Amino acid sequence: MAELSPLSAAALRTRCDPACFTFDTTASLPDHPGDLGQARAVEAIRFGLAMGHTGYHVFVLGEPGSGKHATTFRLLRERAAAEPVPPDLCYLHNFDEALKPQLLTLPAGRGGALRACMQTFIRELGPALESALGSDTHTERVEALQNAHKEREEGALRELGQACAADNISLLQTPEGFVFAPTREGEVMSPDAFEALPEAERKEIEGRVAGWSDKLEDLLNEFPGWRKAVRESIERAEQEALTPAVSHLLRGVREAHADLPEVLGFLDAVAHDVVDSAVNGTMLEEEDEDVAEAEESTRYHRYQVKLLVDHSASQGAPVVFENNPGYGNLIGRIEHVVQHGNQVTHFNLIRAGALHRANGGYLVLDAERLLTQPYAWEGLKRSLRAGEIRIEPPAEAQGWSGTLTLEPEAVPSALKVVLIGDRDVYYLLMEHDPDFADLFKVAADFDDDLPRTADSECEYARLMALLARSAKLLPIDRSGVARLVEEGSRLAEDAGRLSLNTRALSDLMREADHHARLRGLQATGRAEVEAALAARARRCNRYPLRVRESILDGTTLITTSGERAGQINGLVVVELAGERFGHPVRITATVRMGEGDVVDIEREAELGGAIHSKGVMILTAFLAARYARHQPLSLSASLVFEQSYAPVEGDSASLAELCALLSALTQIPIQQRFAITGSVNQFGEVQVIGGVNEKIEGFFDLCRERGLDGSHGVVIPAASVRHLMLREDVVEAAAQGLFHIHAIRTVDEAMTVLTGMPAGEPDAKGVIPKGTLNHKVATVLAEMTAARHAHADAEGSAGARQHRRRHGV
């Protein structure tokens, strides 16, 4: 069997020698680009951004704090700076269909200029119209037309009156209208006089009156045509008066936008609508409306230009990050105002979304925030699939609203969307959303760590220089950098790797900078980093302190001296609010004669997770395969985490459970000065586990409180040795021989360390030496099997005798 001596102190922590650095402080180091160890992810992002085909949007995935956002934005800005500025987006009133505003795209900066020109036009339009219609020339012309019409009507009536007077019939005008009356000697006859006339004369007069009434009716029927003609003449006069005035106002706008046919067409429509509205009197009606807004914004709002996206100040393609990707913030929205108790809207109330602002460039979204917003994810997919951005409220998008609203013309989309999220979100979308794989074909997976080499340590120092400058921190000297490198390995849970969690490193650097400034230093050193770590540990030590106190006062039963069969100190890790703590837990096993079943009490009580239950099943299989290949496994056993009242998950205690079971089976006591962690496979090989540093330190803290005497130690898998980055006090205790770490590869090695008894390996003939653990296990199992058979035979004989007595044999 291999040598089972404790690990040397040098193996417990891989230190970084400050002498390997050639700088004094990070102030002399150039900045790192910030993508250390992320070559694969950077390549994927650049590929996705360069692909012009549809569906090649990018999903950036990785653990929180891995620098996904910073690296992504740096690459986006580098690429966007070399790309052209996209056009301005404007909406115009549709003079044919008012509910369907028209889209107008203009070169960058021209949209704002057009809007300013139209605002000036609107301010000057009212006075210009009043001036044109109030001029002496136009007024005299209109009065002349009206006077001529009046004279024509009066002349026609006068001629008719003169003609009927010659026939002794007078044309009279009363409040009820025109009437004819007979006359005699120039005087209108009274009714009595008319009645006194002979009947024949009366009938003759009535006939003449009827004739003249028909002529009057014919004349009056001609009056509407005359009046229509004069109105048309007046309208032509008004048009001839207004057209030069409107053309004069728009002349400067036309000259400034002569190269844009769409703008010229819009100006033609505006000029035509202004003249028509003024002539038809709708302008005057609008002037009479009682509204609270500015006059020009209500009377002439349809002549305004709604500048949806203004790129006048942009340089290169836009890079937009939408922090609140709700449906309206993403797709855009149409706002309403209340007028006279009703909600109304118009094209000036259209608001741009992030897709509009990023059109022609890049849009960055947080995947988890996007998915938590109602309709936002479906709205984004709809826009990307259709290749256009259509502003419609969610109700209209889902087809279940009958509210009348605007239907703005869709904006053709030409942008790249970059989603940033966790790996879990990416894989869930890939599995459950068929559209996701078609739209986001590029995955940029950020690494969590990188190999720790001399070169990578130097690059790590440059990364720290970048983080320090970005946060405006004091420079860090080489000793401080060396300590941060060591902490990077601790964060990576691997002495041979360095964590790329820049968020955690930045936080530690800020806290160390705080201590350096309190001490009036010009640079942050190792002592300040150690002080920051110690202060953080104190802030977060309530839970581990309470656990340790409960053990020390005897509330929680943990023994660190003596020996006992079937009892062992396991190690667990608890994670709270991002901090991890280890502490020991008592595991016990009991054995009795049975049929080979091992009862996991945690599982039976529904406190054991699936992985923990799997570990118990594996150790059961190991027992049967090693010790009961040629005979039944004639035992029943129970395993339990004592004083455990919370769910237990993971298989890192399966080695401790197996050792406790073997000890209970053989009644060979386990030395309680040890704690053990590790998982085991069906061949009895010990496998790597997580949280090894926290577990060792948790047991060390307890033993130190009770007094280290050189006997205490922890047994860990040999495969976990490369993960050791223990605290300095633990390493120092190990160097002084006060605390020991044993690395084992098999269950046999673990039992040898825990019991002091050699495990015993079979010789060439398969014989296990006496006085060894395995020989004891085989002997006990053989005895249990024999006892089980004897018990079965006794029960069989008793049954046979009872059968013979029942049948009188």
Q: pLDDT tens across 109-143, in order?
A: 999 999 999 999 989 888 888 888 888 887 888 88
* 290 band by pLDDT with thresholds 50, 70 and 90: very low
Number of residues that this document lists for the chain? 809
Residues 6+ apart with CB under 8 A from 670: 563, 564, 565, 566, 567, 568, 659, 660, 663, 754, 755
Closest CA to 744 of 702, 689, 798: 689
* H or E element at residue 593: strand 579-593
Please say whether the beta carbons of 674 and 753 come within 8 A: yes
Is the pLDDT at 145 greater than 50? The verdict is yes
What span, in angstroms and rounded, lies between the C-alpha atoms of 85 and 313?
Answer: 10
Contact present, 566 and 664 (Cβ < 8 Å): yes
Confidence of residue 85 (pLDDT cuts 50, 70, 90): very high
C-alpha 683/C-alpha 411 separation (Å) is 65
Taking CA atoms, 784 is separated from 618, 635, 644, 781, 794, in Å, by: 22, 7, 31, 5, 15
Task: Reply yes or no on whether the pLDDT at 394 is more than 80.
Answer: no
- Paired strand residues for 526: none
Average pLDDT, the chain: 87
Question: Is pLDDT at 576 greater than 80 in this prediction?
Answer: yes
Q: Is the pLDDT of residue 477 over 90?
A: yes
d(CA 361, CA 365): 14
DSSP class per residue in 12-56: GB----GGG---SBGGGSPPP-S-TT-HHHHHHHHHHHH--STTB
Helix/strand/coil for 670: strand
Banded model confidence at residue 577, pLDDT cuts 50, 70, 90: confident
Q: What percent of the chain has pLDDT over 90?
A: 57
Where residue 622 falls among pLDDT bands split at 50, 70, 90? confident
pLDDT of amino acid 294: 44
Question: pLDDT band for position 176 (50/70/90)?
Answer: confident
Q: How far is CA 50 from CA 21, 245, 361, 415, 542, in A?
A: 38, 53, 12, 12, 51
28 is catalytic: no
What single DSSP character describes residue 683? T
Q: Which of 439-448, 636-645, 781-790 has the highest mean pLDDT?
A: 439-448
Encoding tokens for residue 343? 């909600």
At residue 242, the 3 state secondary structure works out as: helix
Per-residue pLDDT at 686: 94
DSSP 764: T
What pTM was computed for the model? 0.82
* Token pair of 48 as six digits: 């996705």
pLDDT at position 429: 95
More confident residue, 28 or 168: 28
CB 425 within 8 A of CB 92: no
Specify the higher pLDDT residue, 715 or 637.
715
| Cα-based torsion angle of the residue sequence 486, 487, 493, 495 in order, rounded to the nearest 10 degrees | 0
Q: What is the pLDDT of residue 395?
A: 62
- Burial class, 785, CB count within 10 angstroms (exposed 0-12 / middle 13-18 / buried 19+): middle
Strands, E, within 53-134: which ranges? 58-61, 88-92, 102-106
Rounded Cα gap, residues 717 and 652, in angstroms = 10
pLDDT of residue 104: 95
Give the Cα separation of 428 and 533 in Å (integer): 37
Question: What is the average per-residue pLDDT within 370-384?
Answer: 94
pLDDT band at 292; cut points 50, 70, 90:
very low
Res. 94 pLDDT band, cuts 50 70 90: very high
Can you tell me the distance from the alpha carbon of 687 to that of 331, in angstroms, rounded to the nearest whole number? 52
Active site residue 711: no
Confidence of residue 400 (pLDDT cuts 50, 70, 90): low
The tens digit of pLDDT for each residue in 739-769 reads 999 999 999 999 999 999 998 887 766 677 8
Instruction: Write out the DSSP string of 296-362.
Output: HHHHSGGGS-EEEE--TT--SS-EEEESS--HHHHH-EE--EEETTEEE--GGGEE--HHHHHTTSE
Which band of pLDDT confidence, cut at 50, 70 and 90, is reported for residue 108?
very high
If one compares 352 and 197, the residue with the highest pLDDT of the two is 352
In which band, very low, low, confident or very high, does the pLDDT at 287 lie, cut at 50, 70 and 90?
A: very low
Span 627-684, pLDDT tens digits: 777 777 777 888 888 988 777 777 888 999 999 999 998 999 999 999 999 999 999 9
Quick one: tokens of 50?
Answer: 């360069």
Q: What is the pLDDT of residue 230?
A: 80
Q: Which of 715, 712, 718 is nearest to 750 (CA)?
A: 715
Q: Are 691 and 697 a contacting pair, CB within 8 Å?
A: no
Average pLDDT score over residue span 554-569: 94
Residue 289 has a pLDDT of: 44
Q: Tell me, what's the pLDDT at 283?
A: 56
Q: What is the pLDDT of residue 739?
A: 96
Residue 126: both structure tokens together: 């009212």
Whether 297 shows a pLDDT value over 70: the answer reads: no
512 vs 646 pLDDT, higher one:
512
Tell which residue, 694, 679, 668, 689, has the closest CA to residue 754.
668
Instruction: Measure the CA–CA gap between 98 and 346, rounded to whole angstroms.
Output: 8
Q: For residue 195, what pLDDT band results from cuts at 50, 70 and 90?
A: confident
Which has the closest alpha carbon to 471: 419, 519, 524?
524
Number of H helices, E strands in the chain: 28, 30
Give the model's pLDDT for residue 690. Answer: 92
Catalytic choice (506, 695, 720, 776): 695
Q: Which helix (H) or strand (E) holds 715?
A: strand 713-717
* Highest mean pLDDT: which range of 168-182, 235-249, 500-514, 591-605: 500-514
- Structure-model confidence comparison of residues 721 and 243, the more confident one: 721
pLDDT at 559: 94
How distant, in Å, are the alpha carbons of 34, 70, 435, 488 from that of 41? 12, 13, 23, 20
- For 48-76, write each residue's pLDDT tens digit: 999 989 999 999 999 988 889 999 999 99
Instruction: Exactly one of 652, 663, 679, 720 is catalytic; name it.
Output: 652
For residues 789-798, give the mean pLDDT: 69
